[in-house]
């Protein structure tokens, strides 16, 4: 049963991540088709992130009362419908609206998949479980080469049609999810109660620091990825397919590294592994735009993939153990809101930096955010002493 839970949660999380990962590789084609600049097309990530944050706000607290499973199933179905809408638009405004709907679906999937895993797996082995589930974050870039090839040959709209089919299949597969381990309550969840819980998280030193970490982790990574494809095309003249292969290299190494990072964190501590991986990652981010095209640049992209992957499972396991189980969905939701706000802010600032100062300015921002993550983990977060049962 645990294996099936991991497969289901991986699939749902992958669905909410893959289309957002392939989007940067499609930026040149979307911009040319809809007559928009790279900076303007980058706003699609901002709209997506804000919608995902909105969905997390409501769904997280509701899932604490009514269970995670209904929102996982509904999110997968909404994702399929939103992808179909994105495939049929003829204007940038229409595409932005469709991406916002996709963000609503992805926010529900991300919040409830992580909370469901926290409910299901005890902390002693949760790092390993989260490491496997978190491979969804890094398997997602493996879809980029296929999406790039499809876009080059048939247009970017066919990519969203492919995600429509994938969303429908994942929605059907979600019917095999087991019963929630969160007891449902008949009393309606009031908005004021949600705000009270959120204020309590913000008032605590450790949980507020973890929310800041979520802002920095997601913002630093996604800003790096968002403008990587445009920089590779501008600097080296790479095709969309070749850009996709670069993304796949980082994603492939991350897929291999993520389970190992989770297993190491169960053995040596989630906090220690999280700190070490961020210390490794910060200089790797800074190095990428300083290298010419070739093996050195590909090695630096691979190092970024490994660093990002090793930290993901341990940090996620820490997040799910910092609050009681009946508030886990709310905390994961607030963490996801901070993540999406971080993505929106970093991508927006990154677009300004990219257009005026180049990709090195973007990666400098990302490296600084990553270094700050390591500092916050070292100074504000303690390893939870969880019961083993």
Tell me how far apart the alpha carbons of residues 7 and 27 are, in angstroms, rounded to a whole number: 31
Would you state the pLDDT for residue 386?
A: 47
Tell me how far apart the alpha carbons of residues 257 and 251 are, in angstroms, rounded to a whole number: 10
pLDDT digits (tens, 9 = 90+) for 94-129: 888 999 999 899 888 988 888 888 888 877 778 888
Q: What percent of the chain stands above pLDDT 70?
A: 95
Q: Give the rounded distance of the alpha carbon of 66 from its chain centre.
A: 24
Structural domains for the chain: 2-176+193-380 (1.20.1250.20)
pLDDT digits (tens, 9 = 90+) for 160-198: 888 999 999 988 888 888 777 665 554 555 556 677 878
Would you state the pLDDT for residue 127?
A: 83
Q: Residues 148, 244: contact at Cβ < 8 Å?
A: yes
Q: Which DSSP category does 322 fall into?
A: S
pLDDT score of 22 more than 50: yes
Q: How far is CA 232 from CA 21, 190, 278, 281, 289, in A?
A: 16, 48, 24, 20, 9
Tell me how far apart the alpha carbons of residues 146 and 166 are, in angstroms, rounded to a whole number: 14
- DSSP E strands: which ranges in the chain? none
Q: Residues 35, 158: contact at Cβ < 8 Å?
A: no
Angular region, 354: left φ>0, alpha ψ -120 to 50, beta rest: alpha
Q: How far is CA 70 from CA 173, 214, 252, 327, in A?
A: 13, 25, 32, 18
- The whole-chain average pLDDT of the chain stands at 84
Would you state the pLDDT for residue 185?
A: 53
Burial of 155 (0-12, 13-18, 19+ CB in 10 A): middle
Tell me how far apart the alpha carbons of residues 387 and 3 are, in angstroms, rounded to a whole number: 22
Q: Tally Cβ neighbours within 10 Å of residue 357.
A: 11
Q: Tally Cβ neighbours within 10 Å of residue 111.
A: 34
- Average pLDDT value for residue range 308-333: 85
pLDDT digits (tens, 9 = 90+) for 131-163: 888 888 777 767 777 777 788 778 778 888 889
Q: What predicted TM-score, i.e. pTM, was given to this entire model?
A: 0.75
**pLDDT range class, residue 286, cuts 50, 70, 90:** very high
pLDDT digits (tens, 9 = 90+) for 233-283: 888 888 777 887 888 788 788 888 888 888 888 888 888 999 999 999 999
Tell me how far apart the alpha carbons of residues 343 and 260 are, in angstroms, rounded to a whole number: 26
pLDDT digits (tens, 9 = 90+) for 198-239: 888 888 888 999 999 999 999 999 889 888 888 888 888 887
Would you state the pLDDT for residue 82?
A: 92
């Amino acid at each position: 049963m645990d294996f099936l839970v991991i497969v289901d949660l991986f699939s749902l999380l992958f669905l909410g991540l893959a289309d957002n990962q392939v989007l940067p590789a499609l930026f040149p084609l979307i911009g040319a088709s809809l007559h928009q600049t790279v900076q303007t097309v980058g706003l699609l990530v901002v709209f997506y992130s804000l919608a995902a944050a909105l969905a997390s706000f409501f769904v997280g607290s509701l899932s604490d009362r009514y269970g995670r499973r209904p929102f996982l199933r509904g999110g997968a179905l909404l994702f399929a419908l939103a992808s179909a809408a994105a495939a049929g638009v003829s204007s940038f405004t229409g595409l932005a609206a469709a991406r916002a709907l996709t963000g609503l679906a992805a926010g529900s999937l991300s919040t409830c998949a992580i909370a469901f895993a926290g409910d299901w797996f005890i902390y002693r082995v949760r790092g390993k479980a989260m490491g496997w589930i978190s491979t969804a974050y890094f398997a997602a870039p493996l879809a980029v080469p296929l999406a790039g090839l499809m876009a080059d040959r048939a247009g970017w709209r066919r990519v969203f049609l492919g995600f429509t089919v994938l969303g429908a299949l994942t929605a059907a597969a979600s019917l095999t999810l087991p019963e929630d381990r969160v007891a449902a309550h008949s009393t309606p969840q009031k908005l004021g109660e949600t705000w009270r819980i959120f204020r309590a998280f913000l008032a605590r030193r450790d949980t507020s620091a973890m929310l800041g970490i979520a802002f920095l982790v997601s913002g630093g990574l996604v800003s790096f990825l968002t403008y990587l494809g445009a920089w590779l095309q501008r600097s080296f003249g790479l095709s969309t397919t070749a850009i996709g292969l670069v993304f796949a290299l980082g994603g492939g190494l991350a897929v291999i590294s993520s389970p190992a990072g989770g297993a190491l964190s169960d053995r040596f501590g989630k906090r220690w592994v999280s700190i070490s991986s961020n210390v490794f990652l910060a200089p790797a981010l800074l190095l990428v735009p300083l290298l010419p095209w070739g093996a050195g640049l590909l090695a630096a992209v691979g190092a970024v993939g490994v660093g990002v992957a090793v930290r993901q499972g341990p940090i996620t396991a820490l997040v799910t153990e910092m609050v009681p189980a009946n508030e886990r969905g709310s905390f994961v939701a607030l963490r996801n809101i901070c993540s999406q706000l971080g993505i929106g802010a970093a991508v927006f600032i990154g677009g300004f930096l990219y257009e005026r100062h180049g990709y090195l300015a973007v990666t400098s921002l990302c490296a600084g955010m990553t270094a700050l993550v390591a500092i916050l983990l070292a100074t504000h977060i303690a390893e939870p002493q969880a019961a083993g049962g």
